[in-house]
Every structure is written in C-alpha cells, then in structure tokens.
Amino acid sequence: MNHQESQRPEKVNPLEMRDLGFIESGNNDGLDDNHDQDELADSSQSRQAVDESDSSEDEVAPRNTIGDVPLEWYKDEKHIGYDIAGKKIKKKERQDKLDSFLASADDSKNWRKIYDEYNDEEVELTKEETKLIRRLLKGKAPHAEFDPYAPYVDWFKWDDAKHPLSNAPEPKRRFIPSKWESKKVVEYVRAIRKGLIKFDKPKEEPRLYLLWGDDSSSADRTKHLAYIPPPKPKLPGHEESYNPSLEYLPTQEEINTYQLMYEEDRPKFIPKRFTSFRSIPAYENAIKDSFERCLDLYLCPRVRKKRINIDPESLKPKLPSRKDLRPYPVTCYLEYRGHEGAVLSISVEPSGQWIASGSKDGTVRIWEVETGRCLRVWELGEAVQHVAWNPLLELPILAVSVGSDVLILNTGFGNEEQQRKAKELLQIGTPTSSDDSDDISSVLSWLQDEKHDCIRLRHFRTVSSIEWHRKGDYLSTVMPAGESRAILIHQLSKKLTQRLPFKHHGLPVSSVFHPTRSIFFVATKKNVRVYDLLRQKLIKKLETQLREVSSIAVHPAGDNVIVGSKEGKLCWFDMDLSSKPYKTLKCHPKDITNVAFHRSYPLFASCSDDCTAYVFHGMVYADLNQNPLIVPLEILRGHTSSDGRGVIDCKFHPRQPWLFTAGADSSIKLYCH
Amino acid sequence: MEIDGDTNEDNSRRIQVRFVTKLKAPYKVPTTAIAIPSDLSRLGLSSIVNKLLQAVVSEWKTEPFDFLINGELVRMSLEQFLLAKGISAEKILEIEYIRAVAPRKEEEPSPHDDWVSAVDGSSPRFILTGCCDGLGRVWKEAGLCTHILEGHSDAISSVSIINSEALGSVTVATASKDRTLRLWKFDAEDSNDHPAMIRAFKILRGHNASVHSVAAKTSGDMVCSGSWDCTINLWRTNDSDTDGDVVSIKKRKVNSKAEQSQSEGEAVSMLVGHTQCVSSVVWPQHETIYSASWDHSVRQWDVETGKDLSNIFCGKVLNCIDVGGEGSALIAAGGSDPILRIWDPRKPGTSAPVFQFSSHSSWISACKWHDRSSFHLLSSSYDGKVMLWDLRTAWPLSVLDTHKDKVLCADWWKGDSVVSGGVDAQLRICSDISIP
C-alpha cells in the first residue's frame, strides 16, 4: 500500500504527504507510538504553516516543524519536535501494546486508523478519503465528479471561414521524405553491412558426419596455407584379399626366388588363400605397420609440389602462317645434269638467265636456267672450288678458282659492244706490278692464259673463295692457308693486287663485300670481323660462339648477316643490335655448307651435308625498333648423298623466288615457288 | 531395244538413254531409247555404241568414242556423273557421242642434230622447226626435210610462219638466242631428196638480249618479238624498200659463191612495260598483241598506240601463251608450274583464271589452241608429255608420252595432228586425231 502511495500524483492531500514522509523516514513500524503527543501537535502546526495555501480541508494544521529529518533523532527525547512557536511538543504517553491491540481488535473502525508518527497521533480516515484512495488505486481520477470522457467542445467555428487558419504555404517537409528517417535507415544498413546487426538464424549443426570421410578437405584444415595433407596409406587390393584369384597367388618357385632377393626388393606381402574368414590368422605386422605409418607421418617432411600448368603451344612464338609468306621455293622442277663430279659451287648470272657451276670433275659449265641446256663447258683439269659471276650485267665474265689459280673467264654472252669491252678488260698489256709492294708480287702474278683466253691469277696457296665487289671491278680471294696474306683484293681494270691492310686473326674462311658501303666482312673460323675499307679500321667483331664457321652471307640492305657453321647452326646477326647473334637456328643435323640471301624477296636459305636445304623467311624492317622476323618455311629435299657430302652450294635466282642447289650427286636442282 | 549381254547387270540400276550424234552417216545409231546399266563408264558406253553400229554396218571397225551429257564430257561412271551433276535419272538421258580425241597413228620421228626448241604447224603443207644448233628446218612430212634455214649463230628459240597462202614462196621468221630475228623465203612446193640450204633474206637486229619469241601478224606484213631485254619489238617483213628501214645491204663474206643479198631491218616500234623477260608473244588479231613474261604478267598491247590495254597477274613465271577458244578470246598460258591456266579477259573485274588444268608434273613449255575447235587445246611440259585438253572436262583427253625427255615445243598440224619437239632431238608427229 505504501508503495502504491508513492506513485500517487502530485495533487494529494497533506495527509498522504505526511504518510509519505513518514514512510521515507525508514521507520516502517506503523504501530510505533513512541512520539509525544504535543510534539505531534507542534509538527502538525508547522506543516500547516508550510502548506498553507495547499489545502483547506486540513482541519488540524501540522504542528511539528522539524522538517524532513529522520525521526530517530527524537527517539530518545521526550518530545517529538517543535511547534510553530518553538515550544517542544511532548510525546504522548505510550499505551500498552497489548491494550492497544486489544482495543484495536475490538474497534471495528480500527482498519481506518493510521498512526501518524510525525505528529505522534492517530488519524482516522473518513469515508470519502478511503473512497479517494480506492479510486487512485484503480488508476482513475481521484474525484468521482471528474469525467475523463467529456464530449469535445469545438470552440472554433469553421462554418463561414473562407481562409485557412494560416496563410503560410504548406511547408516543404510535408512533401519530402524524412531526412531523419533516411539517416536512421542508412545507419541500420551500415550496421547490417558491418555485421553489427545479424539476422542469421543459429546454424543447425549437422547431426551426421562421415566417419571415414576425407578430413583433409575439411574447411578448417585447408584454411591454413602451410597445411599439407598426409599421404594416404595404400588401400588393400585384390591380392590382399583373404581369398584372392589364382593369378595373384605366387607359386612355390616364386616364393623361393623371393628369398634370394634383397630385403628391399622383396615383396612386402605375399598373397595367401584361406578357405574361410574364420581361418585368417592375425596380421603379424599390424603393429609394425602402424608404427611405421606414424613414423612416416611425423618424421617425413612434406613439401607442396609446385606443378606449373602451361600449355606448351602457348610457349611457341607467334609466327605468321607459311601461306601468307608466299612465294618461296617449294618444289624442284628442273635439274641441270652433265657434271661428272660433285658440283662444288654455283653462281647465277645477275639477270638470272644463266647459271655457272664448277665441279670436282674439273669443268666449269654454264647452263640456261629456263631449259636446263648446257651452253658452255671449260675443261680446267682440276677441281673447281668456286665460281662467281661478275655482278655487272654488261660485263659477262666469270671468276673461277681452280686450285691455287683464279681464272677470269669471258663467257661470250652479251652483245658485241659488251664482248669487246670484256675482251679488252681480259687483256694484260705489259706486266705492271712495279708499284706493288714486293711481298705481293712474290705471292701473286697476273698471267694471260692463252688456252682459255682469260686472265690467270696465280696465288701461292689454294684459293677457297672468290667474292666480287658490287661494282664489278674488285674481287677478293681467300686463301685459308695464306697466313698474313690470306685475303687479297684484286682490281681488274688496273690489274693490281693488294693485301688486306689488317692483322689477321684465325683462319679465314670467307669474305664478303658490303652490298652498299665500303665495308668488308671477313669470316674466320670463330668470328666475323667487319672492316671499313675507306678508313682502314676494324668496325666490329661479331662473336658467333660457333665451333667452326663455314659460310657467310650479307643481307642486301647490309645490316644483317647470316653465318653458317659446321655444327649445323645458323646465326643471324643484326649489326645494329649487338655483336652477339640475334637468333641461332639449329636445324641441320650436319654441316652447313652455304648460306644465301635473296636479293629482293625476304628469303634466305641454308644448305647442308644432310642433303637438304632450308628456306627461311627473313624480313628486315625499315623501322629500327622492330626486330627481324625469321620464319622457317620449307625443307627442300631431293639431293642424294655422295662421299658424305650432300648439298654443297645454294644460290637464289636474282629476280624470282627460286633456289638453285648444287649437290655432291653432281646435279644442280632448281626449286620453284 | 535391250542389251542384256551380261548377267551381273541385274544388281545395278538401269538408265534410259538415247544416243545422239552430230557425226555423219556411218557413225549414226538408231535414236531409240535403250536401258543400260548405270555403272558403265566411258569404255562401256563406247562398246555399246560400237555394238549398235555393228548392227547397222556389218563390217564395222571398233572405234573409241567420247560422250557428252549436257555439254560435259563423261569421265566417270554414269551413276557418279549424274550424282555429281545433279541430273535426274528418271527421264530418258540424251548422250551425245563424238569420236574420241586421241591420236590413232604415230608417225616416224624426224631426227634433228640438237634439241628441237620451236615448232610451227600453222601451214598444212609443211612443218617448220627450230633447233638448238641454230638451224631451222622445214619438213614436208614426217622424216622428210625439204629445207634447212642456216644462218643463226645461236639456238633458235621460236619460229613463226608469216604467210603460207601464197602458192610459190613462203615467208617464215625465226628468233634466236643470238639476239636477232631472221626472215626467210623458200618455195614450199619444190621437193628434192637433198634438203636445200636457205639463207635469210633479212636480219632483224635491235634486241639487246636473246630473243625468246616471235609471232606474225595475220596479214603477214609485220612480226613482233619478245626478248630477254624486257621489250617487244615490232618489225616489218616486206623485203622491199618501201620504208627507209633498209640500212645496208651486206655481201656475205664467208661464202662468196652464193651471192645473195641480206638486208638488215630495224624495229618499227617497241612496246615497253614488262619488267622481265618477255617469254612469249602472240598476235592473233590485227591490232592486239598478247604477251607473257617472267614478271608473272600477261599483257594485252594495242599496236597503234603502243600501250598495254590490260594486265593479268598470275603469280608464276610464264613461258607460253596462246589466244583462242570461244570467240578467239580466251588466253591460255603456262609457265613455271604444272598448271595450265586459262583466262577470259572479257570477264570484268577479275583476274582469276576460268580454267586450270593441272595434270602435268613439271613446267609447261607450250600451249596451243586448236584453230577450228573452240574447246580443244594442247599443252606440252618438261615432264615429257603432251596433253590434249577439252574445256568441258578437267581431265586430259589424251596424254602423248612419246618423248623421252622434256618437251620444249608443240603445235597442231593440219587440224588433226600434233607435232612436238623436245630435248630428245626428235620431232614427233601424232596424227589422225579426230576433232569435230
């Protein structure tokens, strides 16, 4: 009841306020009557003074004026407090508790009496007051007269109002969505995203799990990067069966041979047959096996094997299709037959009408390209090492190396004017070598050969290769055994010979003039040296990294060089790029005997002793940033091997994408596109 | 009428056919429809027609026939042919038969001293050959040489008969690797046992390199020549001195007893445009010259202006060209690959060949159209074969494998013979080819 009273609304009568104070003082004993009577009166008077305006119903003003102090302060005093005048209010005489109880038991109105400790008196509640308390307890308005549901009286009259109450326009907030709400929503959304608000229901734990399942794939294990599942023990197969098929059972002899084997090679398990399940003995190695398995598991280091899964096709360089690189020589249609020994060298006339060939049988032949007809034959008596047609169209002469001689032959082609000039050129008037240095004249002599009506340049060593300068006046000869005078340059118009003014390194193999500039390439067995003839100095040394260089060819633009080697490798040098090979192509199983560039088509070829010639697409771009494109195109077969040699020379037709090959089988073949 | 000779015919289908022909009386068969097994090929059909003919004419000699269905030659079994061409086998099929184009006779070879590099059979009275020993020869028939044209210092590369209509003397032109062309005159009719030596009446100089081809104008007053120096020269043939061309008249120095004047001629005009050797020229019409070159092109030249009218790019080196066929407009050319290509220059906007014949196995050295038939042409190749072609089928009509080595030249002769010369130094004549 007291608790209920504490929740009373503010507007209560002072009596209840007193009750409140009385209860708050902590003294729960409602029957305590230690206080003096007069004190009670005083306090009630003082109360009266405090709440004077409050209530008119209080017939007795509270006399006690001590205020809101704990009443036990006055417990041992004779008074309970002071009245408004400052006089002590005496405690009333204590009634005997038993008497008072008896009295209250007798009194029917006792339930309505309350002891007011503060004023030290007994108050009897009136009927109205109890009603009021009851109403309050029910949560109704304290006064019965108060009607909470009184009809609403609309004091404002709307009937004749033309205008709304306010002339102000409808505020904007009525139309826009609430900013606060959206903020709140955003807040919730963020919280959901962050995971602060969770919707998920508690997961049901699967009640069943695979007892023998593969726990290596379980999620918590694989989360660790370093976890490597242990290797699984081998599962038993048919031969471990208690009743295996007969083919699994070893015969007695096999079992005996097991005894002869080493311990490691011996099979771990020998299949046996049992008639029934019941007769199987215990496995004697069970403990040993599981022990070893445990040893394996914890002692054996496990490493994750890195397997790179790359499609080998994707590693190949992207090369254009062969079809797009046409034309290039493909099939052999023509054959030039007539030589009786291996054809060692061929040379195509610069217009492409004839080819010359030199053979081991000591003949030089000129063939018509179109028909394969042999037009001229020179019998020279010794194996012809090299033939080279003069690069000038109007000078149809041919340089031929026979042993240690170089013959410059007049082919007899061309019109009368050209013939006259050629004949004039091939006449040696007076032996002029006075301005030569002595060492040259001792090793070389210009002679007139009457038999073949030509010039004979007698060298002191075997000449292996001849190369014309592009203007057709100079030619260089290479004598591999010539030491310091291995490479000589002859001038045909003045019949002069000079030594290459550079120190030689290694054994020279071949020499080439640059197609446009005054640059000279000398291929030795190991590398290629590039000299500037005008400034007389070494420009570059190309390191082939090959065992033995056999041939060299210069791209018609002059910046790229290919070098063939005796181990079957072909090196492509880009002179602007580096002195190391740009590409090394290993395609021939045997020696490369010669390499050649086409004059106008982007083709180059190599021929080898394995009786094949390879044709490549070798595109050199004008753009310096773009590397040359090299695509293998075709393997030309057809020659047969003879004395271990296959194709000895190859040359391109100067105008058509055709390739001539000279073979040791004494034939020359023409491969056309 | 039924043919039921064989017993195993019942398991194959039968087709109703009717044999028709444009051939004359002894070759006619009754035009009733007959049922024949569908798996018959050309040989079977031929035997049927021969049997039919035997029924008409009692002593009939069997003869091979070729068969045309809807203008195409049958080269497989009838069933396959009908399937491939999508022809219904329900209706009565009309099969036209013609005499097979194949030589029935091979004449005696005519031996030369060196490779036979050129041949011309445009005159029915004789064959003109050029040889690598520098001599031209005139053959009246196989093995009978009537004249020898002597004078070139190098191999003859091409010969051309300029006018053969005139009864008395005949003019011919030869081109040689010695950079000259020579014109010759002889009487084709006179024949004695010993071949007569003829000297050229005119030497045409002007080419800077070997001359590869010569062709005469149809009217006969001009020739054109293609050379290795990339030009085509036009020359006048008349020996008389109407123009101021004749520069000098030289007495022959070597052989003074046969005093004969030799005039020298200069080129009237020069057609420049090819970038490489002009390997072959033809002059089929009055105003147009066709030329094939090693620069992979076929050009058509207007003689009056000297400009090239059209240019067909082939991609391969070309060695021979001929113009003929339907409307004398198809260009056939062969070269450095085994494919004989035929272009139709009237077809606009394309330079793709309309026909390609690829049965040869090496370079093609010569191709010639038949002068009467618009379907037939021959080609010779370095593989030693001469093939006869019909535009109506992709297979060769017949393969003449008489030469032992490369065939360098071939031509039709008299309309029913093929003359060819090659590296084996023989001129071979295959005759009695029936071409409709």
Q: Note the pLDDT of residue A212.
A: 73
Which of A334, A351, A673 has the CB atom closest to B363's CB atom? A334
Q: Note the pLDDT of residue A526.
A: 85
Boundary (domain end) residue, out of B45, B69, B99? B99
**Is B107 domain-assigned?**
yes
In whole angstroms, give the CA distance from residue A270 to residue A239.
Answer: 8
Q: Is A17 helix (H, G, I), strand (E, B) or coil?
A: helix
Contacts of A333 in chain B (CB under 8 A): 336-338, 362-363, 382
Task: Provide the chain B residues 211-240 that lie in CB contact (below 8 A) with chain A.
Answer: 228
The verdict on B152 and B50 lying in the same domain is no
- The pair of structure tokens assigned to B308 is 């090239």
The verdict on B292 and B160 lying in the same domain is yes
Contacts of B423 in chain A (CB under 8 A): 371
The verdict on B363 and B423 lying in the same domain is yes
The verdict on B53 and B115 lying in the same domain is no
**A566-A567-A570 Cα angle (round to 5):** 85
Contacts of A373 in chain B (CB under 8 A): 115, 132, 155
- The pair of structure tokens assigned to B52 is 């039919």
The verdict on B74 and B188 lying in the same domain is no
A82 vs B238, higher pLDDT: A82
In whole angstroms, give the CA distance from residue A530 to residue A522.
Answer: 6
Which of B117, B279, B362 has the CB atom closest to A333's CB atom? B362
**Is B242 domain-assigned?**
no
- The pair of structure tokens assigned to A619 is 């595109």
Q: Is B180 on the interface with A (CB under 8 A)?
A: no
Contacts of A334 in chain B (CB under 8 A): 362-363, 382
Phi/psi of residue A242, nearest 5 degrees: -75, -20
pLDDT exceeds cutoff 80 at A346: yes
A201 vs A526, higher pLDDT: A526
Instruction: Based on DSSP, count helices (H) and strands (E) in chain B, helices before strands.
Output: 2, 37
Peptide bond into B348 cis (omega under 30): no
Out of A427-441, A587-601, B9-23, B294-308, least confident range:
A427-441
* Interchain proximity B336–A351, CB inside 8 Å: no
Neighbour tally for A203: CB within 10 Å: 6
Q: Note the pLDDT of residue A2.
A: 41
Contacts of B363 in chain A (CB under 8 A): 333-334, 672
The verdict on B339 and B218 lying in the same domain is yes
Neighbour tally for A523: CB within 10 Å: 27
Which of A372, A415, A655 has the CB atom closest to B276's CB atom? A655
Instruction: State pTM to two decimals.
Output: 0.68
Query: What average pLDDT does the segment A432-439 reach?
Result: 51
Contacts of B179 in chain A (CB under 8 A): 415
In whole angstroms, give the CA distance from residue A356 to residue A372.
Answer: 12
The model's confidence at residue A439, banded by pLDDT at 50, 70 and 90, is low
Q: Residue ranges of chain B with pLDDT lower than 70?
A: 1-12, 164-168, 190-192, 239-261
* Interchain proximity B210–A353, CB inside 8 Å: yes
Query: What average pLDDT does the segment A622-651 reach?
Result: 88
The verdict on B86 and B158 lying in the same domain is no
**Is B309 domain-assigned?**
yes
pLDDT tens digit sequence for A355-410: 999 999 989 999 998 888 898 898 888 889 999 999 988 888 899 998 888 888 88
Reported ipTM: the value is 0.84
Burial A399-422 (b: 16+ CB within 10 A, else e): bbbbbbbbbbbbbebbbeebeeeb
Which of A351, A371, A656 has the CB atom closest to B317's CB atom? A656
Q: Is B315 on the interface with A (CB under 8 A)?
A: yes
Run of H or E residues at B79: helix B78-85
**AA letter at A407:** L
Closest CA to B284 of B326, B224, B324: B324
Q: Is B3 on the interface with A (CB under 8 A)?
A: no
pLDDT tens digit sequence for A329-343: 999 988 998 899 899
**Is B48 domain-assigned?**
yes
Out of A165-169, A279-283, B143-147, least confident range:
A165-169
Query: What average pLDDT does the segment A300-319 reach?
Result: 82
Q: Note the pLDDT of residue B166.
A: 63
Q: Is A243 on the interface with B (CB under 8 A)?
A: no
Which of A334, A351, A373 has the CB atom closest to B115's CB atom? A373
**Is B27 domain-assigned?**
yes
The verdict on B144 and B176 lying in the same domain is yes
Closest CA to A508 of A576, A461, A455: A461
Q: Tell me the shortest Cα–Cα distance from B212 to chain A, in angstroms.
A: 11
In chain A, the residue whose alpha carbon lies closest to the alpha carbon of B212 is A370
Run of H or E residues at A101: helix A97-106
Structural domain including B76 reads: 14-99
Q: What percentage of residues in chain A have a pLDDT greater than 90?
A: 16
In whole angstroms, give the CA distance from residue A605 to residue A623.
Answer: 24
The verdict on B117 and B95 lying in the same domain is no
pLDDT tens digit sequence for A88-142: 888 877 777 888 888 878 777 778 888 888 887 888 888 888 899 999 999 888 8
In chain A, the residue whose alpha carbon lies closest to the alpha carbon of B319 is A370
- Sorted by sequence, the CB contacts under 8 Å of residue A269 that are 6+ apart come out as A239, A240
* Interchain proximity B336–A672, CB inside 8 Å: yes
Q: Note the pLDDT of residue A36.
A: 42
Q: Note the pLDDT of residue B261.
A: 63
Q: Note the pLDDT of residue A65.
A: 82
Q: How far apart are the first and last CA of chain A?
A: 123
Contacts of A672 in chain B (CB under 8 A): 316-317, 336-337, 363
* Interchain proximity B382–A334, CB inside 8 Å: yes
**AA letter at A528:** V
The verdict on B363 and B410 lying in the same domain is yes
**Is B3 domain-assigned?**
no
pLDDT tens digit sequence for B371-430: 888 888 999 999 999 999 988 888 888 888 888 889 999 999 888 889 999 898 889 898
In chain A, the residue whose alpha carbon lies closest to the alpha carbon of B206 is A415
The verdict on B275 and B131 lying in the same domain is yes
**Is B366 domain-assigned?**
yes
* Interchain proximity B382–A672, CB inside 8 Å: no
Boundary (domain end) residue, out of B34, B69, B99? B99
Judging by DSSP bridges, how do beta strands B330-335 and B318-324 pair with one another? antiparallel
Q: Is B362 on the interface with A (CB under 8 A)?
A: yes
Closest CA to A468 of A350, A608, A574, A620: A350
Size of interface A-B (CB pairs under 8 A): 44
Q: Note the pLDDT of residue A429.
A: 67
Q: How distant, in Å, are the alpha carbons of A465, B165, B213, B330, B414 from that of B285?
A: 54, 17, 17, 13, 21
pLDDT exceeds cutoff 50 at A55: no
Which of B179, B277, B337 has the CB atom closest to A672's CB atom? B337
In whole angstroms, give the CA distance from residue A564 to residue A587.
Answer: 11
**Is B4 domain-assigned?**
no
Q: Identify the CATH number of the domain in which residue B425 sits.
A: 2.130.10.10
Closest CA to B396 of B371, B364, B426, B421: B364
| Owner of token pair 């608790």 | A3
Q: Tell me the shortest Cα–Cα distance from A503 to chain B, in angstroms.
A: 45
The verdict on B75 and B130 lying in the same domain is no
Q: How distant, in Å, are the alpha carbons of A19, A166, A436, A465 from that of A498?
A: 144, 122, 8, 16
pLDDT tens digit sequence for B33-59: 888 888 888 888 888 888 888 888 777
Out of A226-240, A368-382, A437-451, A517-531, least confident range:
A437-451
Following DSSP, what letter does each residue of A417-479 receive, concatenated?
A: HHHHHHHHHT---S---TTS-HHHHHH-EEEEETTTTEEEEE-SS---EEEE-TTSSEEEEE-
Boundary (domain end) residue, out of B39, B65, B99? B99
Query: What average pLDDT does the segment A498-505 reach?
Result: 79
| Total domains present in chain B | 2
In whole angstroms, give the CA distance from residue A512 to residue A468.
Answer: 8
Query: What average pLDDT does the segment A2-9 reach?
Result: 42
Q: Identify the CATH number of the domain in which residue B54 sits.
A: 3.10.20.90
Q: Note the pLDDT of residue A418.
A: 84
Contacts of A656 in chain B (CB under 8 A): 294, 317, 336
Averaged pLDDT of chain A: 81
In chain A, the residue whose alpha carbon lies closest to the alpha carbon of B408 is A371
In chain A, the residue whose alpha carbon lies closest to the alpha carbon of B205 is A415
| Owner of token pair 């014949």 | B357
* Interchain proximity B336–A333, CB inside 8 Å: yes
